[in-house]
Amino acid sequence: MSDAPHTVYLSLGSNLGDREALLDHALDLLRGNAGTIAAVSGTYETEPWPPGADQPMFLNLAAELVTQFSPEELMTRILQVEQVLGRVREKKWAPRTIDIDILFFDDRVIHSDTLHIPHPHIAERAFVLEPLYEIAPDFTHPEAGETVSEMLRKYREQPNRTS
């Protein structure tokens, strides 16, 4: 654990089972094991990723978490929450009971074998940007130098967007 509290933005999604109940349960488990949930967006029903995938629709939301844990410790706790909720990692982009991604951890930039913060595809995915905009429109991406609001505006202006 580190001393100062950290502000973390998470993306949560589910496309198997009782999606809404799984998202609620994930938030409860994060509250009990990872920190304080300071804000939660509404839920968004979205197409699966990648576009055209033959699987159920997703429910997505974003959450702001305040934590004392390091990025690595937090990731371990997130993976435990996913496991408790039945997440099976068979292949990339497979249907899942729960998916929890760290989008931002304060203004840190981490590129390691196990962690990529900020999440590398934030600006390309409406199912991340729309809910994140609800709770953190003025947060500035530490690498791109753009706010979430600016990233969402640019995404919406793209003629061939895919999500």
Could you please state the CATH topology (level 3) that the domain comprising 6-157 is classified under. Answer: Alpha-Beta Plaits (3.30.70)
Cα→Cα distances 149→95, 139, 153, Å: 29, 8, 6
Among candidate residues 41, 8, 5, the one with its CA nearest the CA of residue 115: 8
Q: What is the pLDDT of residue 99?
A: 92
Measured between alpha carbons, how far is 87 from 99 in angstroms, rounded to an integer? 8
Residue 52 has pLDDT above 80, yes or no: no
**Continuous H helices in 8-162:** 19-33, 71-84, 126-135, 148-157
What pLDDT, in 10s, does the model give residues 68-126? 999 999 999 999 998 988 777 776 666 788 999 999 999 999 999 989 999 998 998 99
Does this model's pTM top 0.85? yes
41 pLDDT band, cuts 50/70/90, is very high
Residue 55 has what pLDDT?
Answer: 83
Catalytic residues, by residue number, are 87, 96, 99, 101
> d(Cα 91, Cα 28) in Å, to the nearest integer?
27
**pLDDT for the residue 54:** 75
Query: What is the domain partition of the chain in residue ranges?
Result: 6-157
Residue 3's pLDDT is 66
